[in-house]
Amino acid sequence: MSDIRTQYRIIESGAGWVERAGRGRVRIEGADRAAFLQALVTNDLEQLAPGRGVYTAYLTPQGRLIADMRLYERGDHVLADVPAALAASLVTRLDALVFSEDVRLADVTATTSVLGVMGHGAETLLDRALDLPPGTLAGLSVLGVAEQPSRFVARTDDAECPIFDVFMPEAARAAVLAGFAAAGIEHVSDALANLLRIEAGRPAFGSDMDEHTIPLEAGLVERAISLTKGCFVGQEVIVRVLHRGGGRVARRLVRLAFEPALTTPPAPGTTLRANGQEAGRVTSAAWSPRLERVVALGYLARDVAEPGRDVRAMAADGEWRADVLGLAG
C-alpha cells in the first residue's frame, strides 16, 4: 500500500505515465471504411472526424460483446484502440466481412506504441513534454484529439483526474519518454492505473466484461450505444431489452466500497451476498489511498444493484461488508 500511496501523491499534483501494454491497435484503411464500420458497431460514426474519437462496441447477433474499442479517424485511415488480446482476431473476423467494399485491415500493435499519462497536473506537464502550446490539452473534451507530426494525444475518461493516451510509432517512443522525464512526468505502475479506473467505475474487457456480457449489464448504453443510428450487429437484442423490457437486465455492474477494516482486495470472482443470498461477484478490486478503503467493481442482481445497499463479500479471510456506491459504466 505504501507504494500506491507514493504514486497517488505523484498524480495528486503532478502526472505519471504507464505503458498501455494491455491495448492493441488495428488500422482500417479504404474509402469505404466509415460505412463498413457504421454497419457493424454500436455507436454512430457520423461524429467520427479528424480531431475526434468515438467509444463503441462490436457485438454478436445475440447482443453480447465481442470487443469494446475507441475509434480515431486519422484522415487516411481509422485507428481502432482495442484490447491487445483481441487485435489479431478482430482483424480476421472483420476481414471476413469485407466483400466488394474498399476496406483493408491490419494489426499494427507491434509497430505502434501508446503511453497513458494521468494526474491533476497532466494537462500542463504533457503540453510541456510534447511541446504543445500551453492550454492545448486543457481544452480537449473526452476523446478529443491534439495532433502532432507522427503522433497524437487523446483525452480519455478512464480516471476521475485528467488522463490522456499518446499514440506514436514504436520508433518514436524513446524520444517521447525523454520528453516526459524532462517535464517531470514520472513512471507509475499498472496497479495505479487500474485503481484509477476502478475508482472512476470504468469496466475493462477481460476483467469486468467478456464475450458473455450484454452492454446494458456493464452500463455502456450512454457511452457506447446510439439509439438513433441505423442498424448494427446485435441491435435487435439491445432494442428489445430497452423498449420492451424497460432496460431491465438480470444483473448490473456496480461500484463498491468496503468497510475500512478490509485492506486486502478480494480476488476476482469473490461471491457477493445480499439478504443472506448469493447476489453476484467481484470482478476487480484495489485499495484506494484517497478513500482509505478497498474499492471494487462487481455484478449484482438487478434488485440489489442500488446505491446505498449493504452487501457482503465472502472472501477467504472472512465476510466483509461493502456499500454500493452506484452503477458502473
Per residue, what are the HEC states of 41-90? ECCCHHHCCCCEEEEEEEECCCCCEEEEEEEEECCCEEEEEEEHHHHHHH
Q: Where are the alpha helices (DSSP H) in 134-205?
A: 173-183, 190-200
Calculated CA dihedral for residues 232, 153, 84, 280, nearest 10 degrees: -70
Q: Radius of gyration of the chain from Cα atoms?
A: 20
Note the pLDDT of residue 49: 85
| Domain 250-329 -> CATH class | mainly beta
Angle between helices 122-129 and 173-183 (to 10 degrees): 130
Calculated CA dihedral for residues 163, 326, 300, 219, nearest 10 degrees: -50
Q: Is the four-CA dihedral 206, 207, 211, 215 of positive or negative sign? A: negative
- 146-175 burial by CB neighbour count: b if 16+ within 10 A, else e? beeeebbbbbbebbebbbbbbbbeeebbee
- Measured CA to CA, the distance from residue 47 to residue 54 in angstroms comes to 7
**CATH, range 2-198:** 3.30.1360.120
- Measured CA to CA, the distance from residue 114 to residue 122 in angstroms comes to 16
Common-topology check for domains 2-198 and 250-329: no
- Measured CA to CA, the distance from residue 226 to residue 44 in angstroms comes to 6
Among residues 286, 290, 281, the alpha carbon closest in space to that of 315 is found at 281
Among residues 211, 216, 273, the alpha carbon closest in space to that of 243 is found at 216
pLDDT for 94-140, tens place per residue?
Answer: 999 999 999 999 999 999 999 999 999 999 999 999 999 999 999 99
Note the pLDDT of residue 315: 78
Note the pLDDT of residue 245: 62
Q: Give CA 296 to chain center in angstroms.
A: 15
Counting as low any pLDDT under 70, the low residues of the chain are 1-2, 244-247
- Alpha carbon separation from 311 to 164, 275, 299, 303 (Å, rounded): 34, 8, 11, 12
322 contacts 270 by C-beta, under 8 angstroms:
no
Note the pLDDT of residue 29: 97
> How many residues comprise the chain?
329
Note the pLDDT of residue 316: 75
Among residues 257, 329, 249, the alpha carbon closest in space to that of 296 is found at 257
What are the beta bridge partners of residue 163? 118
Amino acid (one-letter) located at 167: F
Could you state, in order of their start, the residue ranges of all structural domains in the chain?
A: 2-198, 250-329
- Measured CA to CA, the distance from residue 279 to residue 299 in angstroms comes to 8
